[in-house]
Chain A
Amino acid sequence: MTQLTGGIPIVSRRPIRAGRRLHPVPVRIMHWVNAVVMLVMITSGWGIYDDDVIIRGFHFGQFWRLGDWAAWSLNWHFAGMWFLAINGLIYLIYGFATGRFRDKLLPIRPADLVQTVVDTLHFKIAHDDITVYNAVQKSLYIVVILAGIGQVVTGLAIWKPVQFSGLVSLLGGFQTARVLHFVGMTVIVGFLIVHVALALLVPRTLWAMVAGGPRLTPHTAPDGNHPG
């Protein structure tokens, strides 16, 4: 089934330093920083949530919470937020400045989206070439990036509802902002489950995020300004 017509054989003929890797070093560093910080934010957030639940009767057990009680969950959350926001901001600047977002995440054609969903339902998941994302992957990455930005915005609103009172009323009030912050977490956790499951199903993708992955051929590389 697996055709090795993807990047690897072609690239291996090129000089070793010629091609840029699928995941350049900055992307890998930012990815793993984000992975750790996201887990800190999610599990400490569950600790804060438990003091005043949004869904009646729904708690997170002690095993799932970071911080042995609310004070330390809060401290974890308020420490993690800086790493999340700064790492995320650098990632956004990098993604736009290097053209990585445009290259990896666009375009998304509705027909491709439908086709990928149909294929997936028939267990035909194409992953021969891990350097190209399918339409569903592209959509999921865009959704989770937007959810991450959303978490920072709703987080700011519930952290400083007086200083950013305009933002709070834009979001529909303090309690609504709080629920939106919870919904954003749910979206990210949902993504995380799919993302980790697929990475484990296709371990090459996981290894690529550690070692860099295959070198890109010139025509698949983002245009311009890449020293390689």
Chain B
Amino acid sequence: MKSQFRPDDVVDAWVLDDHRPLIRSLERRGLIRGGLSLGILVMLTGCDVKRPASVEAALLAISRFNDDMQALLFNPDKLAPTYPASMILRPPKFNAYYDVIDVKPVNGATWRLELSGLIADKRPWTLQELQAMPQTSIVIKHICVEGWSYIGGWTGVQLRTFLEHVGADLHAKYVAFKTADNYPSSIDMASALHPQTLLATEYGGQTMADPFGYPVRLRTAVKLGYKNPKWVTAIEVTNKYPGGYWESRGFPWFAGL
């Protein structure tokens, strides 16, 4: 079938013949130049043309500088605003790197909290033991790095109380978490010792529902949402930078509020 875009009167063939050498040389030159510049660009960038490696390295260096600045700005005695229980959102917002239907519930009866690193008593903990510790309730704002926020009410043992109880080195740099959904995370010791940092087991006065981290999750008022790992299965106290799920994908590590 004839293309509707092809004109009825075709241009005389001599036009092409006359200029064929010119067209050829243009194409060849363009191809060589294009190929060379693309090759150089790819070499310079490593692999990604959108985000050259040198730019990425510079941005990450500034991000680490920002981590240090945020640690300096962090006031361990400064409390996040709290709200009346009537403002608690029920149920809370779900957010993870996968959809809510893909949540794999954890069995609270067989759940154990493993301890490692700079901790004197590394005996694993059961849920009952954790719930027997002094409980604290806070109604605080959850702020996501994306921009949304909601008010939630959380109950659990203060991470400080827990770390003191198990004889953790409170001068270590990091407290790292492993989770049942393979979402490693870590926070600085100063934030871990903040009074509004909990190993939460309840939401709004009731046992935390599966999608929100049952049986135990971290809930801290002084970090962005992505620093609050759910379904915590292990805690490590360490001086070696542990990173985290989003941090290894470029997000800032400190992420303090």
Q: Which one of B59-67, B108-116, B155-163 is at the interface?
A: B59-67
Q: Which of B23-31, B96-104, B173-181, B245-253 contacts A (4 or more CB under 8 A)?
A: B245-253
Q: Whole-angstrom distance between the alpha carbons of A48 and B252 in the complex?
A: 14
Measured CA separation A12–B149 after assembly (Å): 61
Task: Tell me the residues in window 131-179 of chain B with beta carbons closer than 8 Å to chain A beta carbons.
Answer: 141, 143-149
Most chain A CB inside 10 Å of its own CB: which residue of B59, B145, B256: B59
Assess the B249–A71 pair: CB atoms within 8 A: yes
Which residue of the partner chain, among B60, B141, B249, B251, contacts A174 with CB atoms under 8 Å? B141
Q: Are B146 and A70 in contact (CB under 8 A)?
A: yes
**Chain B interface, >50% SS class:** loop
Closest approach, in angstroms, between the C-beta of A128 and any C-beta of chain B?
44
Chain A proximity of B95: nearest CB distance (Å) = 11
B221 at the interface (CB under 8 A from A): yes
Given contact pairs A52-B147, A75-B250, A68 touches B75 in the complex (Cβ within 8 A): no
Say whether B75 contacts A163, CB under 8 Å.
Answer: yes
Complex contact A71–B251 (CB within 8 A): yes
Chain B, Cβ-Cβ closest to A83:
B62
Q: Report the interface size for chain B: residues with CB under 8 A from the other chain.
A: 34
Residues of A within 8 A of B89 (CB): none
Q: Which of A49, A79, A82, A165 contacts B147 (CB 8 A)?
A: A49
Q: Does A79 contact B81, Cβ atoms closer than 8 Å?
A: no
Residues of A within 8 A of B81 (CB): 162, 165, 168-169
- Report how far A169 CA is from B59 CA in the complex, Å: 31
A52 touches B144 (CB 8 A): yes
Complex Cα distance, B66 from A160, in Å, reads 12
Q: Are A79's CB and B63's CB within 8 A?
A: yes
Residue of A49, A68, A71, A162 most packed against chain B (CB within 10 A): A162
- Which residues in chain A, 43-76, are within 8 Å of chain B measured between CB atoms? 48-49, 51-52, 54, 67-68, 70-72, 74-76
Closest residue of B by beta carbon distance from A79 = B62
Cβ contacts under 8 Å, A71 to chain B: 246, 249-251
28 pairs, A vs B, C-beta closer than 8 Å: A48-B147, A49-B147, A51-B145, A52-B144, A52-B148, A67-B51, A70-B146, A71-B246, A71-B249, A72-B56, A75-B63, A75-B252, A76-B59, A78-B62, A79-B58, A79-B63, A82-B62, A160-B70, A160-B256, A161-B141, A161-B143, A162-B78, A162-B257, A163-B75, A168-B81, A174-B143, A175-B149, A178-B147
* A interface residue numbers (CB < 8 A to B): 48-49, 51-52, 54, 67-68, 70-72, 74-76, 78-79, 82, 160-163, 165, 168-169, 174-175, 178
Per CB-CB distance, the 7 closest pairs between chain A and chain B, nearest first, are A71-B250, A52-B147, A51-B146, A162-B257, A52-B146, A79-B62, A75-B59
Q: A74-B252, A79-B66, A163-B74 are in contact. List 12 more A-B contacts (CB 8 A).
A: A70-B146, A71-B249, A74-B251, A75-B59, A75-B250, A78-B252, A82-B62, A162-B80, A162-B81, A162-B221, A162-B256, A163-B256
